[in-house]
Structures are given as structure tokens and as C-alpha cells.
Amino acid sequence: MIINDLYPLALVEPTKFANKLFIVSGYASATFARRHIVSLLERTADFEINLIIGMPNAKSDHMAFVALHNDFKNFKGYYYKSNCPVHCKVYSWYNDDTPYIGYSGSANYSQYGFFKHLQINQLNEDDPTEIKELYDTFLQSSIFIPDHQIILPESHVLATFAGSVLPGTIFWEIPDVRVTISFLAGDGHLPQVSGLNWGQRLSKSTNKITGNVKWNKREPNQAYLGLRLDSRKEGFLPELAYSFSLITDDGYAFDCVVAQDGRKAIHSTNDNSEIGKYIRNRIGVPLGSAVTVSDLERYGRTDYTIEKIDEETFLLDFSV
């Protein structure tokens, strides 16, 4: 039985000898799949990940899985569609058509499944051929994730406020589940070189030989979502080291982390300009331009709402 180092042992090191991974997992997270893909790309480009998600209610980060298919040709994911849910957690590695090694156990394909700090799970070596046969059987009753049309349950109908929260404040609509956070500082202004305008700042570089200082422009759309007060607390958003999927109310998805000292920001992990471009496009501000209070007021709100769907999936509601 294996309970330590599950991630490198079962999901990374086999790429020394194998290039195809077949997974059946009751639950899975898109942010973990992205993390896994990036880990493998640091070692090799010759691999593919094939995933079947077995539980019918495990589609909260659907748009993030769709984004994975758009971003990586190495990944193919499916939802199992039969009336009888599948709660298996099995992993089979092949080198082309030759079976290499397999694992089965309690670890879902997620951060909580593979990192002991979050949850203790176990795996055992298993027959890769039998696991692949199981995968092939379930594949016949599965739908390719990009082909699936998802409808949020009524419990996730997006609520809106009649007006924004006060500058510098937050409002817990549902404690520890749904919080609205002001973009504005307590004095009512929008920070000029942080938050939505993070990319408007200059970076300092010093020539080690001459001592000359040079100020360089950054990518002007860089931005982060500022967290205030106890919206920063662990137990609501993940720990600093763990990524999560941020799904928007209008159908976009970002891979994100809680960042900075004091857990005061949500950053996008792939490109720091992703959130800034999204907000600018949504409120009608030209890319590269600074966002102002007037821009937000013209759009209709000076705050945003974060809702926890599960431990690795959150909703960004910026609807008006």
C-alpha cells in the first residue's frame, strides 16, 4: 500500500517509460489536471491524458475543463453518462500500445486526492491492462466534455445586489460561501498601480556594473482581484500553494491561486493579464488602459462576488 508521494509516483515518474495515461475517477478537478499537464510538459511533450469522470454531479468546473481542451492537445476528458454512477479511482499507464503500470485506490484525480497535506489517500499497484479495459468499457457510455451542455442547478442562480457594497468593505451573503468585495479602497478611490491596475506600475532594474537605475513598463493589463478583511481566510479560499478554477457568470474560466503576503489577492496562474483583460473587455475599457471608478460605475457595479462551489472551484459573479 502506498500513502506517501502519490503524485510523483503515480502521475509523473511513469513518463520515463510510458506516454499514455488512462484514468477513471469519481471526482476530478480541472485545476489539478492543468497542474498535472504543466508538470508533465516540463519533462516531455510526448504524452496524453485520457480522463473519465464518473459521478454525475461532478461538473461544477465544466468551463475550466473545456478551457483545458482548448489549451492542451494532450488532454481528453469525458463525463460518464450511465444511470449508475462510477466512483472508481484507477490509473493505467501505457507506452503507446504496451501496458506499463497501473494504480488503484482512494485518490480522486484532484489536489485533495494526491496531496497528503490536504487529505490522506492510498494507492496500490494494479494491472494496467484491466484498468484500460475498464476505461474502454466506460468510454462507450461517456460524452466528450466539450460536447456536453451544462445547466447550473437552481441553487446556483446568480443573485445580484441592488447597488454595490461600500468602498473598502465586504458583505457575506452566505457565510463562508458567497461574499461580495469592493474593488475600491476605503476612501472611495480605485488603486492606480494595484488590483485592476496592477500592470500600470513600473518595475525597477539596476545595472550591477554602473549602478544606473531603469524603470520598465509592465504588461499594462496585468491585474488581480483584491481580497479584503476576512474574505482572505483559509477555509473559504484555498491555501497559498493550491490552485483553483474560477468560473465566471458569463461562461469563462481561469486557473487561479490566492497570492501575496496576507492572502490579499487572487492571481491567474497562467498569465497575470488574464483577469485584467477579462474585466476590461467586460466593462468596455480598451486593453492597456487604466481602469477608473467612472468605468466601474458606468458598467453598473464597483464590486465583485466570489462563491465557493467546492474546494477547488469558485464562481466569479460580476453580473449587473
Contact 37, 96 (CB under 8 A): no
Contact 285, 125 (CB under 8 A): no
Within 10 angstroms of residue 7's Cβ, the number of other Cβ atoms is: 18
**pLDDT tens, residue by residue, 168-186:** 999 999 999 999 999 999 9
Contact 114, 121 (CB under 8 A): yes
Separation between Cα atoms, residue 46 and residue 137, nearest integer Å: 25
Contact 55, 26 (CB under 8 A): yes
Domain residue spans of the chain: 6-147, 154-317
Specify the pLDDT at position 213.
67
Q: Residue 105: name the closest of 132, 117, 87 by CA.
A: 87
58 pLDDT more than 70: no
Separation between Cα atoms, residue 274 and residue 286, nearest integer Å: 14
Separation between Cα atoms, residue 228 and residue 46, nearest integer Å: 43
Choice among 26-35, 204-213, 228-237, 256-265 with the minimum mean pLDDT: 204-213
Cα dihedral sign for 109, 115, 119, 125?
A: positive
Choice among 28-32, 60-64, 155-159 with the minimum mean pLDDT: 155-159
- Pairing of the two strands 98-105 and 123-126: antiparallel
Q: Residue 247: name the closest of 305, 207, 171, 163 by CA.
A: 305
Look at the block and give the residue holding cell 487604466.
Answer: 290
The dotted CATH code for 6-147 is 3.30.870.10
E strands, the chain, are 20-25, 48-53, 75-80, 89-95, 98-105, 123-126, 142-144, 170-174, 178-182, 202-206, 213-217, 225-226, 244-248, 253-259, 265-268, 303-310, 313-317
- Pairing of the two strands 48-53 and 20-25: parallel
Q: What are phi and psi of 90, to 5 degrees?
A: -135, 145
156 pLDDT more than 50: no
Contact 158, 317 (CB under 8 A): yes
Average pLDDT over residues 311-320: 93
Q: What percentage of the chain has pLDDT greater than the value 90?
A: 78
Separation between Cα atoms, residue 105 and residue 88, nearest integer Å: 8
